[in-house]
Amino acid sequence: MKNTVVLFGFSICLALAVFSGCRKQENKAEVTLKLGHVLDIAHPVHKAMVYMAERVKEKSGGRMIVEIYPGGQLGNEKDSIEALQLGYMAMTKISSAPMEGFVPKMKIFGIPYLFRDSEHFWKVMKGPIGRELLLAGESKGLRGLCYYDAGARSFYAKKAINRPEDLKGLKIRIQSSIMSKKMVDAMGGSPASIPFGELYTAIDQGVVDGAENNPPSFYTSRHYEVCKYYSLDEHTMLPDILAISPKVWNNLTPEFQQILQEAVDESVEYERKIWTEAELNDLKSVQDAGVKVIHPDKQPFRDSVRSIWSEFEGTDIGELIKRIQEVQ
Ligand code: GCU
């Protein structure tokens, strides 16, 4: 009996010690930043953000915490952008496409076949143009912290798309983006804007016949279960962007700003390393699941969107196109 009482007392002490230890640990956080995004936890861009959050915790000794809410728990990309502008949410990771509506210069990424290849893309992103565009939204309540590689986007559908003519009569889901609309229109398809989180059902129920995205997004969203043809025309290279509300950023001490930016920059290098492998693996996984991967001749797709290039001649976007082409 005596032993039982001692053991019971000991257990309570232990539980209290652990509990207060945990509380102490939690209490160490001086700043907690909520980060919402729409991707799955198996997606390489999500993994990069987890890496960033770990680095932030480590570098700050637990005084700054980034809490990540994946899978659209805190809303779709448009909602998240607005939440940042209002300061309700600290950080979000979105595609550059829905940012166009808020930061017009972001339209540049929607110019089909703008970048020669991934090397050209990163040269531009890491250079003055990339930096300029990242901060272009600051006055609109969106401070870009970095770009993550999101590869190239290609069509997937319930039927094979070998040439632009095959898009005729097909309803293709696009992001909330005027440039994506222009592109699908120019290629001959019928664009329909639907949030990413609603897309699986939309395809399954026949609201649209297909969509377009990079291999990790096609795979981790399981859209391959309802679209059995993936046509690698690689029409756009829209970067993913990690953004913070300027209100939140300006409230951080210079030390915390530095820690966050360093952790973000390290996560970019990490993501670039895991991206290529993820693309290859995910392409293989969709093939194993019965998807036919098509490698179409890209020239007819390029030709079909020439009108978009000429439409912007003499505008700010036209100037940016020239500057980007000049980057060697
Ligand atoms: C990519 C991108 C997402 C975006 C999605 C979409 O997966 O990483 O940020 O939401 O495309 O097509 O909506």
Q: Whose CA is nearest to atom 3 of ligand 1?
A: 95
**Alpha helical stretches, state H, the chain:** 2-27, 44-59, 77-86, 96-99, 118-126, 128-135, 178-187, 199-204, 215-220, 246-251, 254-288, 299-304, 306-311, 316-326
Per-residue model confidence as pLDDT tens digits over 168-199: 999 999 999 999 999 999 999 999 999 999 99
Q: Is the pLDDT of residue 140 over 80?
A: yes
78 C-alpha to ligand 1 centroid (Å)? 12
Tokens for 315, please give them.
């505008």
- With bands split at pLDDT 50, 70 and 90, how would you rate the model's confidence at 28? confident
Pocket test of ligand 1: the residue of 92, 96, 196 to mutate, having most ligand atoms within 8 Å of its CB, is: 196
Q: Whose CA is nearest to atom 6 of ligand 1?
A: 196
Closest C-alpha among 240, 246, 306 to residue 278 = 240
Tokens for 89, please give them.
């949410």
What confidence score (pLDDT) does residue 22 get?
39
Q: In the structure, which protein residues have their CB atom closer than 6 angstroms to any atom of ligand 1?
A: 38-39, 45, 77, 94-95, 150, 175, 196, 213, 217, 240
Per-residue model confidence as pLDDT tens digits over 40-87: 999 999 999 999 999 999 999 999 999 999 999 999 999 999 999 998
Q: Whose CA is nearest to atom 5 of ligand 1?
A: 196
Q: Identify whether the C-beta of residue 234 lies closer than 8 Å to the C-beta of residue 116.
A: no
Amino acid at site 211: A
What confidence score (pLDDT) does residue 102 get?
94
What confidence score (pLDDT) does residue 24 get?
43
Amino acid at site 39: L
With a pLDDT cut of 90, the percent of the chain lying above it is 91
Q: What is the mean pLDDT of residues 90-108?
A: 97
Q: What are phi and psi of 144, to 5 degrees?
A: -75, 135
What confidence score (pLDDT) does residue 37 get?
98
Q: Is the pLDDT of residue 27 over 80?
A: no
User: Structure pTM?
Assistant: 0.92
Alpha-carbon distance of 224 to 186, in angstroms, equals 25
Per-residue model confidence as pLDDT tens digits over 229-239: 999 999 999 99
Q: Is the pLDDT of residue 160 over 50?
A: yes
Cα 259–Cα 265–Cα 267 angle in degrees, nearest 5: 100
SS (H, E, C) 112-156: CCCCCCHHHHHHHHHCHHHHHHHHCCHHHCCEEEEEECCCCEEEE
Helix (H, G, I), strand (E, B) or coil at 176: coil
The domain defined by 29-326 carries CATH number 3.40.190.170: yes
Kindly report which listed range (14-18, 28-32, 75-79, 178-182) carries the lowest average pLDDT score.
Answer: 14-18
With a pLDDT cut of 70, the percent of the chain lying above it is 92
Taking all residues of the chain, what is their mean pLDDT, rounded to a whole number? 93
What confidence score (pLDDT) does residue 70 get?
98
Q: Is the pLDDT of residue 5 over 50?
A: no
Q: Is the pLDDT of residue 221 over 80?
A: yes
Per-residue model confidence as pLDDT tens digits over 279-289: 999 999 999 99
Q: Is the pLDDT of residue 4 over 80?
A: no
248 C-alpha to ligand 1 centroid (Å)? 24
What confidence score (pLDDT) does residue 120 get?
98
